[in-house]
Amino acid sequence: MHDTYLAPDISVRKTDVLIIGAGPTGLTLANTLGASGIKTIVIDKKPGPVEDPRAVSVDDAALRVMQSLRLCDEVLADGVPGTGMRFRGASGQILARVASSVSELGYPKRTNVHQPIVEATLLEGLTRFDSVDVLFGHELRSIAAGECGAGFETPAIADVVGPDGAPMQIHARIVAACDGGRSFTRKLLGIQMDGRTFEQRWLVLDTIDPQNTEQESDVYCDPARPRVRIPGPRNHVRWEFMIRASEDSNYFLESGYRALLNQYRGSDDVSLASKRVYTFHARMARHWSVGNIYLLGDAAHLNPPFGGQGMINGIRDAANFGWKCVAILKKNFAPALLSTYETERRCSMQDSIDFSLKMGNLMMPSGRLSGWLNAMALAIAFKIPSMRDHIVQQKHRPKPRLGDGFVTSTSARHPAGSVGRMLPQPVVVDSSGTENRLDSALGTGFALIGDDPLALWRFFEGNGSRLKRLAPELIALSHQRAPNESGTSVRVLKDVDGTVLSMLKALPGSVLLVRPDRYIAASFSMEADASEVDAFFDTVQSYLPTCNSSNMWSKNETAVI
């Protein structure tokens, strides 16, 4: 237990949530908490936002999180949306071209970004919330975990030093360690990382190239020199070159990088923004929490860079963790709900790591034979329509999925394997003719979605003693614009392209229970008895609030999840 004695000159601050690290993961979480008025302190040892570019892309799921924070337009304004990718052979010939069309989640599957701009957008977003303080230049020195039982009676205690050397102690009900792959918090907690660190070294060059007109990324599967070129916003172009085992990293950092740019870019009209050499990791923390301290983002898992999943997974962590913090601190859900953060996210993270390793095998052929085999495999795949579409439409990328947690444990009635996956987000039209994306109509909490307004209302009323504890928005989707059902609280929306309706039609008479983070928690039959609803609530009973629905999410809730 942390010593409670304090020297007279040590200031103490108390907060609901302490976030350690002001990168994309920590700032995404801070925006979620700030929108709900949760008292939050963000600390970072750096003197201010970093300008060093790292991640260069986001996916459709990450943009959907930005939408929930009301920052998506800003991110897209400084991004290159819908960027595709070309796989090229040793001589530069195109082996395969991957498109980046708008996905069922409502956004392009890939958008190239400049990470410092994304972080600046998230940081600016926090100015909307008086409940969030960001303290740059404040370094964590030690931390003691508190209890994560009912009410978090014992806080975590963090010893921090400010930019002037003055000590500070922060007491927090919940701590989110978002302090990166070299997480000092993880080290203090003694949590081991399992997995592999690879010997291959890569030279990363971030350049400013005013002459660049290409919007597609290029992956050169060249055994002699595997390399990647990724265009970004504001003339930024990322180059990555594999360094051979016999080559000296320092040579490339000092002067050799220019020879590579001249050889493969073919122009001197390129300025260098940053350069570094890295090795990559495929590692995951043995466990993601101690008491009421939780690891998020790279602090919890290190993803090889080849699938472009690093920053994306940190944003997904923040979305999963964030709604649960809101549920506990504002809606009286049980603190045990946070235990589902790791159990739900770990399986999806393993999928992401496995995918990135497979991409690395394609991008880094070990010799001319493996390079030739890769080229032949892609050529054959593109001659088979079903395989070509699978690659072009990026169906090979793993979709986020939930492990055990706040989700039904049965699978007999799941339409098209939807439970545990993200709800598609079509464009919808309400009764007044207003057109918007579906999430904008779902409110900020739970939602119950069906295709028959009266049947949905009867189902909700018939199971009210349980469903009302979640206070879900009731949404009926239709092929036609229609008025809301009178005498009920059901809103009728036209599903413009029928995306979600097709899921519901696959299992007639079904309704979907959707969580605040837009994952489908359960599907129920409106015609069956209450056993399905009972089974779901038996699964999640230990996480639910004991209060009445007046403390639940409401239609006028200002929180953004």
Domains of the chain are 11-81+110-194+282-359 (3.50.50.60), 415-551 (3.40.30.20)
Q: Give the pair of three-digit tokens for residue 103.
A: 């996905």
What's the pLDDT at 117?
94
The predicted-structure confidence for 35-67, as pLDDT tens digits, reads as follows 999 999 999 999 999 888 888 899 999 999 999
Tell me the longest C-alpha to C-alpha distance in the chain: 76
Identify any residues that bridge with 269 across adjacent strands, giving them in sequence order. none
Closest by alpha carbon to 335, among 148, 147, 177? 148
Q: Are strands 111-112 and 57-58 parallel, antiparallel or unpaired?
A: antiparallel
Low-confidence ranges of the chain (pLDDT < 70): 1-9, 148-152, 267-268, 307-308, 361-397, 409-417, 546-561
What's the pLDDT at 85?
83
DSSP per-residue codes, 67-125: HHTT-HHHHHHTSEET--EEEE-TTS-EEEEE---B-TTSSBS-EE--HHHHHHHHHHH
Q: Give the pair of three-digit tokens for residue 383.
A: 């001659």
pTM over 0.85: yes
With residue 169 as reference, give the H or E element that holds it: strand 167-177
Q: Are strands 11-20 and 40-44 parallel, antiparallel or unpaired?
A: parallel
What's the pLDDT at 555?
41
Closest by alpha carbon to 421, among 389, 444, 450, 398? 398
What's the pLDDT at 366?
61
* 182, 245 contact by CB (below 8 A): no
Rounded CA Rg of the chain: 25
* 175, 293 contact by CB (below 8 A): yes
What's the pLDDT at 549?
39
With residue 531 as reference, give the H or E element that holds it: helix 531-540
CA-CA distance, 481 to 447, in Å (whole number)? 20
